[in-house]
Amino acid sequence: MSETKFVVFKLGKERYGLPIESVERILPNQDVTRLPRSPKVLLGVFDLRGTTVPALDAWQRFGMTQDDESHNFVVVITPEGRCALSVDRVDGIISLNEDQIEPPGTLSANEADPFLSGIGRQEDRLTVLIDPEKVVPKELRKKVAAVAAA
């Protein structure tokens, strides 16, 4: 049975996971330079060892209202390049077998923006699994790719 590792982060009390191979690094909160006239989900950019990294607000990305202060950035490798998700905190790494991962189902799936890849179940804890290829919203993919390539 195949096992997959996920980096787990929290937004409020909710748990989210990204496949470990898609996570480049975890950073403390960064000073972000806001880009004029950009959507709310795009917090701006910050410098990471001489490269510019676009920063996305995970609360906004997942359509939630923020109720806590973000303390970490999870740098994710996406098809558009690197981007960072602002999250409340990173909770660790979990391993899930195939039989512990359920498809997202009709309640949580958004056909126009399918960023959920499944639900991980470990005993009584659920973790919403995120597809790293769809972390960046469709309307921002060109902008993020241009910033990441610079």
pLDDT in tens, 77-132: 999 999 999 999 999 999 999 999 988 775 555 555 578 889 999 988 999 999 99
**For the chain, what is the mean pLDDT?**
88
Q: What is the largest CA-CA distance in the chain?
A: 48
pTM for the whole structure: 0.89
Which homologous superfamily is 3-149 in? CheA-289, Domain 4 (2.40.50.180)
Cβ atoms of 115 and 76 closer than 8 Å: no
The mean per-residue pLDDT over the stretch 28-42 comes to 91
Interval 88-100: pLDDT, tens: 999 999 999 999 9
Ordered by start, the domain boundaries in the chain are 3-149
- Element spanning 147, H or E: helix 141-149
How many Å apart are CA 11 and CA 35, to the nearest integer? 24
Q: Which pLDDT score, from 0 to 100, does residue 139 have?
A: 86
How many degrees, rounded to 5, is the angle at CA 10 between CA 64 and CA 56?
Answer: 55
Find where tokens 């390049």 sit. Answer: 81
Find where tokens 């880009």 sit. Answer: 35
The mean per-residue pLDDT over the stretch 19-44 comes to 93
